[in-house]
Amino acid sequence: MPASRESAGTLDSGQPLQPPLAIAIVGPEEVPGITKLARGIERLLTDRGHTVSVRLAVRTAWEPEGPDASPENIAQKADLVIVLGGDGSILRTARWMGYRQTPVLGVNLGRLGFLADFSPTEIEGAIAELMEGRFRLVEHMMFETEVIRDDQVVAADLGLNETSLLAGPPFAMIEIELFVDGELATVYRGDGLIISTPVGSTAYNLSAGGPIVRKSLEAFIFTPLNPHTLTNRTVIDAASREYYLVVPAPNEGSACVVDGRLLTLLQPGDQIRVALAKPRFHLIETSQHGYYSTLRDKLAWGGGLNRPAAPPLPESSS
């Protein structure tokens, strides 16, 4: 599985950012204190000579079909997007930008935040590092999901985290056939299946018992939900392959969900195509946060690494 490249657009890893840059600040307006934070970041950036646009809107307003997306929205026109909120805000922003992705720096106003890596108290230091060139611009794969019915695409979406096929009401087990490069790989019987990217491996996939996969790898992770066959376990395969899934007999409420959004309810014989997308999601990382330090912090790994060191053991008298 090849590692992704580490540069995109106007920004280059390790290179100081010379003003004026066009910077967009976006986020969900219903989060308490977000307007004050956005205006503070705006002043911080304008004082450095950059041009700043701010868009705070309700969560339901981040739709690619909206008026801001035609012909382009402020994120697509920017050199950098600062997303305030949580990982959900970043997913919505990535979908809003669609096939014209702009590098993102995420500020976490939620709880966990694997993508929204910086806290509000860290943002000034993160911007200073960014402007001085002490950052990495890492690309992450995105994917396309198409639902094909009677040889016609009836629903499609661009995603970053995962596609989920869910059994739904009346909550009976369903069968999902997985084809890889035209070959039947397996038949899952259970409550559904998650098809995750490495970026999404710490989201729904992790909650379902799937593995953590380094975000910069290009792969799909297939994690069954409560499989009836105990030998059905997570499979990881290259993103370059062609994946089709067929649900011969879905329940009335069986659904295809992309990044937490309902794409469509499923009908018998629907084919779901999941494939690597051409656009890449560009996430900014600085020296404040490394890959494993983020995992340690977010998942409380290490058995209390931040505790004071224990006193030395007394020397033996023997």
Average of per-residue pLDDT across 227-235: 87
Does the residue 192 lie in any domain? yes
The overall average pLDDT reported for the chain is 87
Domain boundary (113, 132, 151) is at 132
Question: Are 13 and 7 in contact, with CB atoms under 8 Å apart?
Answer: yes
Question: Are 29 and 58 in contact, with CB atoms under 8 Å apart?
Answer: yes
Range(s) of the domain holding residue 219: 142-278
CA–CA separation, 47 vs 54, rounded Å? 16
Question: What band does 269 get if pLDDT is binned at 50, 70 and 90?
Answer: very high
Does the annotation count 87 as an active-site position?
yes
Residues 33-52 have pLDDT tens digits of 999 999 999 999 999 999 99
Does the residue 318 lie in any domain? no
Does the residue 137 lie in any domain? no
| CATH number of the domain to which 167 belongs | 2.60.200.30
Task: State the pLDDT at residue 289.
Answer: 66
Is the model more confident about 304 or about 278? 278
Task: State the pLDDT at residue 216.
Answer: 84
Residues 69-89 have pLDDT tens digits of 455 689 999 999 999 999 999
Q: Quick one: 121 and 230 in the same domain?
A: no
Does the residue 35 lie in any domain? yes
Looking up tokens 């790898």 gives 217
Task: State the pLDDT at residue 63.
Answer: 81
| pTM reported for the whole predicted model | 0.85
CA–CA separation, 10 vs 43, rounded Å? 22
Is residue 120 predicted with pLDDT exceeding 90?
A: yes
Q: Quick one: 233 and 123 in the same domain?
A: no
Is residue 13 predicted with pLDDT exceeding 50?
A: yes
Q: At 49, is the secondary structure helix, strand, or coil?
A: coil
Q: Quick one: 98 and 212 in the same domain?
A: no
Average of per-residue pLDDT across 105-134: 88
Q: Quick one: 154 and 264 in the same domain?
A: yes
Does the residue 301 lie in any domain? no
Is residue 196 predicted with pLDDT exceeding 50?
A: yes
Is residue 62 predicted with pLDDT exceeding 80?
A: yes
Question: Are 225 and 9 in contact, with CB atoms under 8 Å apart?
Answer: no
Counting the structural domains of the chain, the total is 2
Catalytic residue among 12, 47, 68, 87: 87
Task: State the pLDDT at residue 248.
Answer: 96
Residues 88-102 have pLDDT tens digits of 999 999 999 999 999
Q: Quick one: 204 and 79 in the same domain?
A: no
